[in-house]
Amino acid sequence: MKFKLLYFGDIYINPKKRAQHISDIRMQFHPQLKKLVEHSPWNNLTQFMMPNPTKSPITTKHVGGIDWNPIITPNLKLIAELDIQMLHPEIVGVSRSDIDNRIKTLFDGLRAPQNEHEIGENTPRDIGPIYTLLDDDHLITKLSVNTSHLLSSDMFSCDIPRSPDSIFMMIDVNVRVAEGTLENLPFMV
């Protein structure tokens, strides 16, 4: 099962307000993932995504007063392979481009927070559950990163906060089944 996630914005390496920066990244992925689970076979997961589900496996996490709905979880026996196309303003090969630490920051933005200290102070608390790709980044079993020079960011909407160092990413997500169960049967195609 494959789909794409898009990201445009800053990915700081060591931000002063790390939790808020990670939250900002999560909030770019949230509407995409929320839309994804409206479609088959993802809509089958919504029966497990509620604060007190009556069916197992439970996927909703309650952290810091917010319900988080990761769509790839160990309870569902799902894992992810990521192929990332990263376009950044630096010329490829220049020592300023710190790919490995940007990927670490991205991974934190793709997963649900593990404790309340990982939730940014401006994280919305009144929008219902927040969707994340992963329960935890250990569910990523394969990673490929290709970088290139972002020649112009003028094509992106001006309502997205950006700096001269903003990055555009297209993330191909391949969801795989680690172990077959009745709940993850639709993902075995």
> Structural domain tally of the chain?
1
pTM assigned to the model? 0.85
Structural domain contains residue 131: yes
Structural domain contains residue 143: yes
Q: How many CB atoms lie within 10 A of CB 175?
A: 20
Structural domain contains residue 53: no
**What's the pLDDT at 82?**
97
Structural domain contains residue 74: yes
User: Would you give the DSSP letter of residue 88?
Assistant: E
Compute the distance between CA of residue 20 and CA of residue 118 in angstroms, rounded to an integer: 8
Compute the distance between CA of residue 153 and CA of residue 164 in angstroms, rounded to an integer: 9
| Enclosing domain of residue 146 | 2-45+58-188
Give the three-state DSSP class for 171: strand
Structural domain contains residue 77: yes
Structural domain contains residue 137: yes
**What's the pLDDT at 75?**
86
Q: Which residue has the tokens 């993850």?
A: 184
Structural domain contains residue 51: no
User: Would you give the DSSP letter of residue 91?
Assistant: P
**What's the pLDDT at 161?**
55
Compute the distance between CA of residue 89 and CA of residue 91 in angstroms, rounded to an integer: 7
102 within 8 A of 147, measured Cβ to Cβ? no
153 within 8 A of 10, measured Cβ to Cβ? no
What tens-digit pLDDT sequence spans the chain (189 residues)? 899 999 998 888 877 788 899 999 999 999 999 999 898 888 877 766 665 555 666 678 888 888 899 999 888 899 999 999 988 776 666 555 578 888 999 999 999 999 988 888 888 888 888 999 999 999 999 999 988 877 765 655 555 555 656 888 999 999 999 998 877 787 776
